[in-house]
């Protein structure tokens, strides 16, 4: 089950203490992978619920450590320059020159990706590249302002103020079209020349663009805004290479919160025919989906999955969303997901709904899990159809599948069904988690004895067509 490419988002109201869902906005939901988990508040934290501090800064190109420089240092002070047009690296060539009998050098910068080039002036005494470029930049600015000053100070060029009545009486006169404009005299043989001219004119003008020093890369520490607990702290000892990725403190949400994914039900014929995904919801007919829950902790996790009886309007987009009411029902909202800690075999930790038949290992595992369903005398349409609650749940090492029923109803009986009715549905689920404290939080010796938190999870199931 891919935790990187899934459509499950967690609602993060900025700095809210009571996490209530007040609408779906792309700015207020984040992927689980982008969140931190505060062990003290026992809540997830987005980047906006934290404040950060720069622990280390370095140039990724020359690996120079700038951690001990002033806060203003944001760019590499060595010869690492990037193109002002495309931010690619610049290569530097040196050419020898002679000015007034003195030997000098000029530097030519050329971009490795685009056509940008820059030629510095000739210098006769040693100077850093940064000071050469900054002095030339200043000189160019001075020249520009000097030109403006000259134009402004020329009194004769100032426009003559004319009276309003005179301006009104002005009329267009003596307008004649010059018959021999170059475009009229152009023959078909000159077309290629014109094309060349166009290419030359569209060529970017780099005359007033100077090489830019490379931006530094930073390593940040993050702290919770509520309780000031470190959520992420990198190792930044002297002598350690800046590109090292070791961390002193790490509280990522993926390590403490369950991963949730919605999948279709598993067809018993999956081993013989590849599954075909139907993107439709039949009107007044129940469709079953599977909620895949994965426990990242080394202890068992008690989860309650809550939902509203129907999906609110602001979670549905589509042409005629007001015509329909999408009802939700979770027959088994409470579940205990066992830890996958002792399981060494990775395939055992993948939920059945995410197994494929493309690989022999995955197929063998799928056969072993589906065996009982396959050899039934009358195979049912889906794996989950049964009256007893035990068979509605599939469980394994660190994962669990529970069903979710979705049905679409007409809001008003007078409304008419249309074959072009498409609904883009997002399902909000309230997840409550209870577990023993994991070892990484126990060592902090916080006052809380258990792990207990709740949050809104929004699952984007995509666009479905409503059929009759």
Q: Interface with another protein by CB under 8 A: which residues? A: 1-4, 32-35, 60-61, 83, 85-89, 91, 112-114, 217, 220, 232, 243, 245, 247, 250, 252-255, 346-347, 350, 354-356, 358-359, 361-362
Distance, CA of 13 to CA of 18 (rounded, Å): 9
CB 61, min distance to another protein, A: 5
Distance, CA of 98 to CA of 216 (rounded, Å): 36
Pick the closer one to another protein by CB: 33 or 144: 33
What the block records as the tokens of 232 is 């992420």
CB 276, min distance to another protein, A: 18
Element (H, E) at 219: strand 217-224
Pick the closer one to another protein by CB: 143 or 359: 359
- DSSP class of residue 129 equals H
Distance, CA of 397 to CA of 71 (rounded, Å): 49
CB 346, min distance to another protein, A: 6
Pick the closer one to another protein by CB: 111 or 290: 111
Residue keyed to tokens 């307008």: 175
Pick the closer one to another protein by CB: 67 or 135: 67
CB 354, min distance to another protein, A: 8
CB 437 within 8 A of CB 240: no
Pick the closer one to another protein by CB: 257 or 316: 257
CB 394, min distance to another protein, A: 18
CB 199, min distance to another protein, A: 17
- DSSP class of residue 227 equals T
Residues in contact with 124: Cβ distance below 8 Å, sequence separation at least 6, in sequence order? 99, 102, 103, 104
CB 259 within 8 A of CB 457: no
Pick the closer one to another protein by CB: 31 or 287: 31
Pick the closer one to another protein by CB: 245 or 342: 245
Burial of 138 (0-12, 13-18, 19+ CB in 10 A): exposed
DSSP code string of 411-457: SSTT----TT-EEEEEEEEEEEEEEEPPHHHHTT--S--EEEEEEEE
3-state helix, strand, coil in the chain (%, to 5): 20, 35, 45
CB 453, min distance to another protein, A: 18
């Amino acid at each position: 089950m891919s935790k990187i490419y899934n459509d499950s988002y967690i609602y993060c109201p900025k700095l809210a203490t009571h996490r209530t869902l007040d609408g779906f906005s792309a700015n207020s939901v984040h992927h689980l992978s982008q969140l931190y988990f505060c062990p003290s508040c026992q809540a997830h934290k987005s980047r906006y619920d934290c404040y950060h501090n720069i622990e280390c800064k370095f140039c990724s190109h020359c690996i120079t450590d700038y951690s001990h420089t002033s806060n203003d240092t944001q760019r590499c002070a060595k010869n690492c320059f990037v193109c002002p047009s495309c931010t690619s690296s610049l290569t530097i060539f040196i050419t020898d020159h002679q000015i007034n009998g003195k030997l000098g050098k000029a530097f030519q910068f050329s971009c490795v990706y685009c056509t940008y080039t820059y030629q510095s002036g000739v210098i006769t005494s040693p100077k850093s590249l940064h000071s050469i470029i900054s002095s030339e930049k200043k000189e160019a600015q001075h020249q520009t302002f000097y030109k403006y000053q000259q134009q402004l100070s020329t009194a004769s060029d100032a426009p003559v103020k004319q009276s309003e009545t005179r301006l009104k009486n002005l009329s267009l006169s003596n307008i004649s079209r010059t018959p021999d404009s170059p475009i009229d005299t152009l023959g078909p043989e000159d077309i290629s020349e014109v094309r060349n001219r166009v290419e030359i004119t569209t060529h970017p003008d780099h005359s007033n663009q100077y090489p830019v020093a490379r931006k530094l890369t930073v390593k940040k520490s993050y702290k919770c805004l509520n309780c000031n607990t470190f959520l992420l702290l990198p190792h930044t000892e002297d002598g350690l290479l800046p590109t090292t990725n070791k961390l002193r403190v790490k509280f990522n949400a993926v390590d403490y919160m369950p991963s949730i994914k919605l999948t279709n039900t598993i067809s018993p014929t999956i081993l013989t025919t590849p599954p075909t995904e139907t993107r439709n919801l039949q009107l007044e007919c129940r469709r079953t989906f599977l909620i895949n829950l994965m426990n990242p902790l080394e202890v068992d996790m008690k989860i309650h999955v809550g939902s509203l009886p129907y999906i609110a309007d602001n979670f549905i987009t589509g042409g005629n969303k007001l015509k329909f009411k999408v009802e939700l029902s979770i027959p088994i909202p409470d579940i205990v997901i066992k830890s996958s800690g002792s399981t060494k075999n990775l395939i055992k930790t993948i939920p059945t709904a995410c197994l494929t038949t493309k690989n022999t290992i995955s197929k063998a595992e799928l056969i072993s899990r589906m065996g009982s369903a396959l050899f039934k005398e009358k195979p049912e349409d889906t794996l989950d159809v049964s009256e007893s609650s035990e068979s509605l749940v599939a469980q394994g090492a660190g994962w669990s599948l529970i069903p979710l029923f979705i049905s679409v109803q007409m809001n008003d009986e007078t409304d008419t069904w249309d074959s072009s009715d498409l609904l883009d549905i997002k399902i909000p689920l309230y997840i409550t988690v209870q577990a023993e404290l994991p070892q990484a939080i126990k060592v902090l010796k916080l006052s809380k004895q258990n792990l207990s938190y709740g949050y809104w999870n929004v699952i984007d199931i995509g666009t479905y067509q409503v059929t009759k």
